Amino acid sequence: MTIRDTQTFRPNERGLIEAADTLRGGGLVAFPTETVYGLGADAQNDTAIANIYAAKGRPQFNPLIAHFADISQAKRHVKWSNIANQLAETLWPGPLTLVLERHSRSNLSRLLSAGLSSVAIRIPSHPIAKQLLANLGGPIAAPSANISGQISPTCPEHVHADLFGRIDGILDGGSCQVGLESTIIDLTGLPTLLRPGGIPVDIIEEMLSTKLAIVQNSDAIKAPGQLASHYAPRADLRLNAKTKGTNEIMLGFGPVECDLNLSATSNLVEAAGNLFSSLHILDGDNATTIAVSPIPETGLGMAINDRLRRAAAPRPANEQ
């Protein structure tokens, strides 16, 4: 692993130009999106993308999302469809990723899609991400800017803690508003939910007037990244906890007694925004177990529970 001199880029005109220049030169720059911080590289540069996998310690079979400035740029790389158009016209820019078959004319790196015939594409709405894409003038490959398997970063300090010395720069854009990754829909066959996320599934189902198919964790080809253990803090998690046990620290939801509350008013949007930062904070407290209040499985609650279940799942031996 090469040691890199990690610079901080300010979110001003100069910082954004320097960050784009670094990407153009094959470097790795973490940048804010409305969901979480992404670890960006030029999506057409194989070496830069190989460096993303190395910096994150990410398994090579787990493909990356290509981020675009606008729909017309994104469309050129995939086999576009009516359903894609319907979702994109309403929900882009925003926390939605679409998986579509790659178009033969696409020059996106093959490493980005890890050998699959499909590619995942997204148009972020965060103004800094948009300006960075505009300055680069091409797509940016970006997974979440954390060490593989760990908690996703929602502020520059989280990125710094995981990746300082491993990447070339961090574009400082403060905290991410949504706080959970994008919802991923596979449109290569029947519309299928690969990952619940920042856009509630019911909104998408209502737009399409159909239920989304759900991919099984075991379907490694369709959802290569949906590892059972993910977003994992060092501490163990005890889910659906009504009260705090001895030697536990409690992450609450709603009007409960706890050490930190995702949303005292039971607001799921607020809770989503606070989830990863709360796990980061409580994990710094040296507790062995974090007890977490029950979260309703509605709206963004589905994505919050998905992340909590993965964070609570047994860890592979090398991630203990």
Return the half-sphere exposure (C-beta side, CA atoms, 13 A cut-off) of residue 238.
Answer: 15
Q: How far is the CB of 65 from Mg ion (least distance, A)?
A: 9
**What count of other Cβ atoms lies within 10 Å of the Cβ of residue 190?**
11
Pick between residue 99 and residue 287 the one whose CB is nearest to ligand TXA. 99
Sole binder of ligand TXA in the list 44, 62, 73, 81 (CB under 6 A): 62
Kindly write out the interface string for residues 199-228 of this chain, putting x where it contacts Mg ion by CB under 5 A and - elsewhere.
------------------------------
Residue 300 tokens, joined: 């963004």
Kindly write out the interface string for residues 214-253 of this chain, putting x where it contacts ligand TXA by CB under 6 A and - elsewhere.
---------xxxx---------------------------
Helix, strand, coil % over all residues of the chain, rounded to 5: 30, 20, 50
Per CB under 6 A, 194 contacts ligand TXA? yes
Closest C-alpha to 143, from 5, 35, 304 = 35
Residue nearest to ligand TXA (CB): 225
Question: What residue has token string 């299928």?
Answer: 192
Span from 9-17, 46-54, 114-122, 304-312 in contact with ligand TXA (CB under 6 A) = 114-122
Pick between residue 238 and residue 315 the one whose CB is nearest to ligand TXA. 315
* Residue 203, helix vs strand vs coil: helix
| Strand ordering across the sheet containing 213-214 | 7-9, 169-171, 29-32, 37-42, 140-141, 65-67, 118-122, 96-101, 183-186, 192-195, 213-214
How many chain residues bind ligand TXA (CB under 6 A)? Answer: 28
| Binding footprint of ligand TXA on the chain (CB under 6 A) | 33, 35-36, 38, 62-65, 95, 97, 99, 113, 116, 118-120, 122, 142-144, 181-182, 184, 194, 223-226
